[in-house]
Amino acid sequence: MDFGYRQPVEIVFGSGARGRLADVMQKKGFKRGVLIADSVFVKNGMADEICGSAPVAAVFDDFGANPEIAAADAAAKLIRKNKADCVIALGGGSAMDLGKFAATVAAGKASAEELFYGELPSKGLPVIAMPATAGTGSEVTSVSVMSDSARAAKKPLVSDAFFAKVAIVDPELTLTVPPFVTAASGLDAISHALEAYWCKARNPVSDALAVRALALLFGAFEEVCRDGSDRAARTDMSLGALLAGMAFAPTRTAGVHACSYPLSEMYHLPHGEACAFTLDTFIRINSAAEPERMNALCRAIGFASPSAMASRIVRYKKLTGMRTTLSAIGCTDAAALAAACAAHPLQNNNPVSLTADQLEEAFKALG
Ligand code: ZN
């Protein structure tokens, strides 16, 4: 056996952990932060609460669900203007993606566009990540997904610069997340853990993290979708998403995520819904190739079989209003979708290699 595992992000986890921001900044020697937050937190007063509790000089919230390189330039300008020595990213995946990228742009001379298309530095301003959804795991990964819609480009950028210095994971921040986003984020986290477990780059540390993550996520998913104010379920989802993030940070993801990018680009599915779209299909395909390994996972987390796990995902999707068929997403050209999915580089990390024809058949089987 031969493997490595690296996770440089310091983690502070707990209900109310957002109240420890000032303490974390002081311990790290940070004097002045700029907060990059989803606008919902500016509207509901959470940004004010955070600015009142820690030395935060300014707030940036002018960005959408797919953060643009232009937003990164604007945020970097604000960071420089305020002479901030750290960036605090509060929100879902988009706030953390933008926070990480803007912190790197702000630390150098190159524009966001130059970095998006060129070489990424390995260092940026330090980031404190405060996830407000239980899903992306971005708080513990070196990935920042950015878009340049002018050129129809969206891609995950990977650099050590995008590891946060500290992740402050406070499940209370997820209490106000609406049901559909809760469900999509949860299915994204389940995808991360499963892909870390079955991908070619898997390792024993990721395995252990993924198994625990899946037990937590499957255990709490239905309750958190039924009652978003259930603190115990929210805590399990936040912890599950964090562990799933730690599982896939070094392994990357595989076929499910490979397909999610074309699904989001061509049919505008939110990331979690795009992952959920093919998740049960990949559970069936990948389990058939490695039945013993998947049976062991099922035994560990209480499923009778991989097929039962796949059926559970289908049930989750129906329960939470995810689209499950090609017609529902408006796709009339399964061949073009399958070709884009088969060509995505993450497909190479899937334990089973699939041709465009095989993917097309799988998509058509969805109805
Ligand atoms: Zn994902």
Please give the pLDDT value at position 171.
Answer: 98
3-state SS track over the chain: CCCCCCCCCEEEECCCHHHHHHHHHHHHCCCCEEEEECHHHHHCCHHHHHHHHCCEEEEECCCCCCCEHHHHHHHHHHHHHCCCCEEEEEECHHHHHHHHHHHHHHHCCCCHHHHHHCCCCCCCCCEEEEECCCCCCHHHCCEEEEEEHHHCEEEEEECHHHCCCEEEECHHHHCCCCHHHHHHHHHHHHHHHHHHHHCCCCCHHHHHHHHHHHHHHHHHHHHHHHCCCCHHHHHHHHHHHHHHHHHHHHHCCCHHHHHHHHHHHHHCCCHHHHHHHHHHHHHHHHHHHCHHHHHHHHHHHCCCCHHHHHHHHHHHHHHCCCCCCHHHHCCCCHHHHHHHHHHCHHHHHCCCCCCHHHHHHHHHHCC
Structure tokens at 322: 């995810």
How many whole angstroms from its chain centre is CA 128?
A: 16
Please give the pLDDT value at position 48.
Answer: 95
Please give the pLDDT value at position 1.
Answer: 80
Please give the pLDDT value at position 313.
Answer: 98
Q: How far is the CA of 156 from the centre of ligand 1 (A)?
A: 10
Rama region for 68: left / alpha / beta (φ>0; ψ in -120 to 50; rest)? beta
Q: Report d(CA 242, CA 262) in Å as an integer.
A: 25
Q: Report d(CA 281, CA 358) in Å as an integer.
A: 12
Structure tokens at 263: 């699904």
Please give the pLDDT value at position 148.
Answer: 94
Q: What's the pTM value of the predicted model, to 2 decimals?
A: 0.96
User: Which residue bears the tokens 């239980």?
Assistant: 134
Q: Radius of gyration over alpha carbons of the chain, in Å? A: 20
Q: Report d(CA 124, CA 163) in Å as an integer.
A: 10
Average pLDDT of the chain, as a whole number: 97
Q: Which residues of the chain have pLDDT under 70?
A: none
Residues 6+ positions from 317 with CB-CB distance below 8 Å = 187, 276, 280, 324
Q: How far is the CA of 155 from the centre of ligand 1 (A)?
A: 12
CA-based end-to-end distance of the chain? 42
Please give the pLDDT value at position 2.
Answer: 87
CB 288 within 8 A of CB 357: no
Q: How far is the CA of 157 from the centre of ligand 1 (A)?
A: 14
Q: How far is the CA of 188 from the centre of ligand 1 (A)?
A: 5
Please give the pLDDT value at position 351.
Answer: 97
Please give the pLDDT value at position 153.
Answer: 86
Q: How far is the CA of 26 from the centre of ligand 1 (A)?
A: 32
- Which of 283, 281, 279, 275 shows the shortest CA–CA distance to 305? 283
CB 197 within 8 A of CB 282: no
Q: How far is the CA of 23 from the centre of ligand 1 (A)?
A: 31
Q: Report d(CA 178, CA 195) in Å as an integer.
A: 26
Q: Report d(CA 61, CA 93) in Å as an integer.
A: 14
User: Which residue bears the tokens 């780059």?
Assistant: 201
Q: How far is the CA of 14 from the centre of ligand 1 (A)?
A: 23
Query: What pLDDT digit, counting tens, does each position of 114-167 carry?
Result: 999 999 999 999 999 999 999 999 999 999 999 999 998 888 899 999 999 999
Residues 6+ positions from 74 with CB-CB distance below 8 Å = 60, 62
Q: How far is the CA of 30 from the centre of ligand 1 (A)?
A: 30
Q: How far is the CA of 326 from the centre of ligand 1 (A)?
A: 20
Structure tokens at 261: 């990018």
